[in-house]
Structure 1
Amino acid sequence: MKNYWQKIQLTAALSVTLLSSIVYCPALWALPVGLKTASIQFTSPPPPPDRGAAGDRGGAASRGCGSGNESLMALVPVYEQAVKQEQKQAISVTKVWGLTTVTHPTFWFFVPYNKSSIAAIEFVIKDESNKPSQTIYRTAINSPSNPGIISVSLPETTTALEVGKMYHWFFKVKVNCNNQQPAELEYVEGWVERVKPTSSLAEAIKQATPQQQVVLYAENGIWHDALNSMAKLRLDKPKDASVMADWTSLLKSVGLEKLAQQPLISIQN
């Protein structure tokens, strides 16, 4: 069995090819459903090649009115990659990119500001594979009542994300920390790509419990599905210690452990 899985992983690794910065589809493989590690760890797939998926998940200094001096953050992985330039020294590029298997994924963001300090919130997702770019979805978001983590889901009425295509998203917050000054714009941005799971992974997910599904998604590099599944568990079982431990472990695996104790806030849009 061990050699069998090693062969599958080796085959998947060799099948990854360098495509353009817009079309990129990493290989996926299914782990055994019965596998339940002591802590959930996200396994990062190879990031898009070249300059694809450059973005910013946040983490810069707060405007001064955020809770605990925290800053706006997108709950997504980041990759630091050296990109070579012709006859020039390689430069470091921060890539913000995650995978999903669904046509209309959900995104999660930490908003550190009090409602009174927020002038407006907007979410935008674009298809930039052609010029001019096409806006898939744009919506105003109601401000959360208190600082915390909120979600934004693409409605089923919007265009479905295509397999193998990358989409550029933006989450923008206009913050007014001083009524004597105009509101300032804070934003985070990144990329999402839909992938088609292998038949074995799809079957394993179908048979798994909700917590096992998180493990399968995370260890196969499918970030958005892992995070959304884990967030649903936390909302359904807010006092379950094992769920909280898994939530913390998942965030820690992508360097976001400081957000683990932040509340998940439901908003109406």
Structure 2
Amino acid sequence: MLKLSLPIVNWLRAIISLILAIIIFISYPTPAIAQQDDRNFIQVFFQAVTDAVKGRSQRKELKAPNGRSRGGAGRGRCPALISLDNNEIPLTAFVPTIQEQQISSSEVDIVWGTTTEAYPTFWFYIPYSYKESEIEYGKFVLLNQNQEIIAGPILVKIPESNQPILAKFTLPNTVPPLKENQEYNWYFSIICNSLKPSNNPGVVGWIQRTKLGFFPPKNNLFYIERGIWYDMITRLLTTKDLQTQSQEDKLGLVKYIFKDVIKKPKISEKISEAENLDEIANKIVSFPIQELVPVPNPTSMQS
């Protein structure tokens, strides 16, 4: 029978103890945010996002990641927006927009977030009725910090729908993966008129892949405390958890994204501004989630 020396036994015990500790840490459920902070989940998350954006902006060697999280109504052949209680909400990217004061005293919209994924998922609110329009495709482009195209143009099929949709697009593994600690500039537009791209509604943002530990965490607290935007959004919007807290977190996210484009109720209406925002948010989260699937480039869309 094999006999092990005492140092080897102690060494094996230490390794086993470490492995068990890691397993317990990874599988341990997320503690309630209320125990961590008096603020609610959404406030904690967005404060972390804001801090991350400000920290990033202090690095002078980096270009300001200004962008546009809403795409407007489009012009020409683009269809009218589907109205939600008299609110015509445009194409919208689920990305934080934080205004930053520049040296020239002008303000720019910083549209930037982080991910731990090599092939992250991007989320969009698409407010057009496919059957009543000529819309058929969307276009996604990814560039590096030097504005060199890394992926795209990637054409995606816009699903048929008679109501707005929540659309997700995952960067396909046929393109190079995002590199850690590098920033990328992305564009997404709806192709209403392939001959006049400037007329097409589009959104622009930035993404940076951050380094993840050897063992990826299974709980949300890791992403919340670090403001890891793109991953947390995917977790929130795809959760199947029907618990009250999960639904409130999802609604809180949607209200944050759309709060600036929801019309305030008229004085004559018997509803508060908060109640109005709640109603619109409830409708938005009830819309179906559709996957934007890449398609081969049609000849007519090459431009």
CA deviation digits over 1:61-110, x for unaligned, max 9? 576611112201000001111111xxxx3221111001001111000000
Equivalent in the alignment of 1:46? 53
Contact 1:81 1:94 in 2 (8 A): yes
Given the superposition, is the C-alpha separation of residues 183 and 153 from structure 1 closer, same or farther in structure 2, using an over 3 Å criterion?
same
Q: TM-score if structure 2 supplies the norm length?
A: 0.62
For 1:28, the equivalent position in structure 2 comes to none
Say whether residues 1:232 and 2:243 are aligned partners. no
Unaligned runs of 5+ in 1: 1-31
Q: 2:174 aligned with 1:157, yes or no? A: yes
Q: 1:182 to 1:136 in 2, by over 3 A?
A: closer
Secondary structure, in 3 states, of the residue corresponding to 2:159?
Answer: coil
User: Does 1:191 find its partner at 2:198?
Assistant: no
Q: Deviations over 1:184-232 (max 9, x none)?
A: 4110000000011467xx66x23x3xxxx1x431331100010001112
Distance 1:109 1:259, change over 3 A: farther
Counterpart-to-counterpart distance in 2, 1:182 and 1:128: 23
**8 Å CA contact 1:174, 1:185 repeated in 2:** yes
Query: What root-mean-square deviation, in Å, do the aligned CA atoms of Structure 1 and Structure 2 show?
Result: 2.9
Give the equivalent residue in structure 2 for 1:73.
92
CA distance in 1, matches of 2:249, 2:41: 6
Change in 2 beyond 3 A, CA 1:158/1:59: closer
Query: How many Å separate the matches in 2 of 1:217 and 1:34?
Result: 13
Cα drift, residue 261 of structure 1: 3.0
Q: Which residue of 2 aligns with 1:247?
A: 250
Question: Which of 259, 266, 269 is the matching residue for 2:290?
Answer: 266
Find 1:144's aligned residue among 149, 154, 159. 159
Q: What are the Cα deviations for residues 105-127 of structure 1, in whole angstroms up to 9, with x where unaligned?
A: 00000000011322431111111
SS of residue in 1 equivalent to 2:105: strand
- CA deviation digits over 1:8-32, x for unaligned, max 9? xxxxxxxxxxxxxxxxxxxxxxxx9
**Alpha-carbon distance in 2 for matches of 1:168, 1:197:** 21
Matched, 1:101 2:113: no
In the alignment, structure 1 residue 56 sits paired with structure 2 residue 68: yes
Q: CA deviation at 1:136?
A: 2.3
Cα distance in structure 2, aligned partners of 1:59 and 1:91: 21
**Per the alignment, do residues 35 and 267 of structure 1 end up closer, same or farther by CA in structure 2, a change over 3 Å counting?**
closer
Q: Is the helix fraction higher in 1 or 2?
A: 2
CA distance in 2, matches of 1:251, 1:99: 19
- Residues of 2 paired with 1:127 and 1:33: CA distance? 35
Pair 1:53–1:264, CA change in 2 (3 A): farther
Amino acid at match of 1:34: P
Partner of 2:183: 166
Question: Gaps spanning 5+ residues in structure 2: where?
Answer: 1-28, 35-39, 260-276, 294-303
Identity over aligned pairs, percent? 26
Instruction: Give the TM-score, by structure 1 length.
Output: 0.70
Residue aligned with 1:173, SS: strand
Report how many aligned residue pairs link the two structures.
Answer: 216
Counterparts in 2 of 1:140 and 1:155: CA distance versus 1, 3 Å = same
> Matches of 1:173 and 1:108 in 2, distance apart?
14
| Corresponding residue of 1:128 | 145
- Change in CA separation of 1:166 and 1:219 when aligned onto 2, cut-off 3 Å: same
Query: Among 27, 31, 36, which residue is 1:34 paired with?
Result: 31
Q: Is the 1:107–1:151 contact (alpha carbons within 8 Å) kept by the matching residues of 2? A: yes
Higher strand share: 1
Q: Which amino acid aligns with 1:135?
A: I
- Shift of residue 247 of structure 1? 0.6
2:229 to 223, 232, 235: 223
Max Rg structure? 2
